[in-house]
Amino acid sequence: MATKQKSLRLSWTASLATLALVAVAILIGQAVWARDASTPANRPIEVPEAGYVTSDTCRSCHPGNYRSWHDSFHRTMTQVPDAKNMPAEVDGLERTFGGWDYRVELRDGRYYVKKRPQAGAARGWFEPQQIVLLTGEHNLKIFWLETGEGRTLVQFPFAYIVGEKMWAPVMQTFVLPPEAKNYYSAGEWNGACMDCHVTQGRSRFVEGDRFDSQASEFGISCESCHSEGAKHIARNRNPLRRYALHLTGRRDPTIATPAG
């Protein structure tokens, strides 16, 4: 009898353990699904490269440095559009350029651009394209549209001049050769602009006009100049090491120091 009861207890224990594992697997699966479902598919995304920890991780040990960086235009060099960083007058904006009429509209917190051939009201507007990223904050704001080709972006042909609070064709806001006729084509952000305007950007060319671009962090962050911080954090968890570096004034080899 005792053996039978022990066997039953083991059986129940095994069953409960199995149910617990199944429940954990379901919860993990739901979390992964929710994360994937909420990840935009129409623009580049932030995915830290191996060894990169993002600027928020630097904050606890370097609050002063973090604060000065956070208040800078480096942080806002690349942003996802929202009510705080978009010009107030963008909703309902209408402009014409290169034979096309453009109109910007705000819908459910998202900004869309419609276009049609100039004076082509009879044909109606083409399918709207969402404004999915911004470049610049100090002097000039550039707006990037989804293309329907994965995370490939194309430029909205008008830029916002911050100081004058006015709109102008992008071509008239840059010094360009006189023979230049067009603003940036699809994929220019993915293949070139991101090199300077995000931290550890990866173009991730797929095929044709399609990119699957990622960045460790939007904007020019701590690790843009200091390189990846994971090793630095791991080594400096030891307080004796930190104090030794502080007292000797030696450079910490676990992090890049641009001044050196």
Structure confidence by residue, pLDDT tens digits, 199-226 = 999 999 999 989 999 999 999 999 999 9
| Per-residue three-class SS string for 137-201 | CCCEEEEEEECCCECCEEECCEEEECCCCEEEEHHHCCCCCCCCCCCCCCCHHHHHHHHHHEEEE
Domain chopping of the chain, boundaries: 47-76+187-260, 81-184
Rounded Cα distance between 102 and 82, Å, is: 20
Per-residue DSSP letter, 128? P
Asked whether the beta carbons of 160 and 87 are under 8 A apart, the reply is yes
Is the pLDDT score of 25 beyond 50?
no
Is the pLDDT score of 24 beyond 80?
no
CA dihedral 76, 47, 255, 205 (to 10 degrees): -90
Instruction: Record the tokens describing residue 71, joined without a space.
Output: 């208040």
Confidence of residue 258 (pLDDT cuts 50, 70, 90): confident
Report if pTM > 0.85.
no
Average of pLDDT values for 214-242? Answer: 93
- Which pLDDT score, from 0 to 100, does residue 17 have? 46
pLDDT tens-digit series, residues 83-129? 999 998 899 999 999 889 999 999 999 999 999 998 766 678 999 99
Is the pLDDT score of 131 beyond 80?
yes
SS3 46: strand
Confidence of residue 32 (pLDDT cuts 50, 70, 90): very low
pLDDT tens-digit series, residues 184-200? 789 999 999 999 999 99
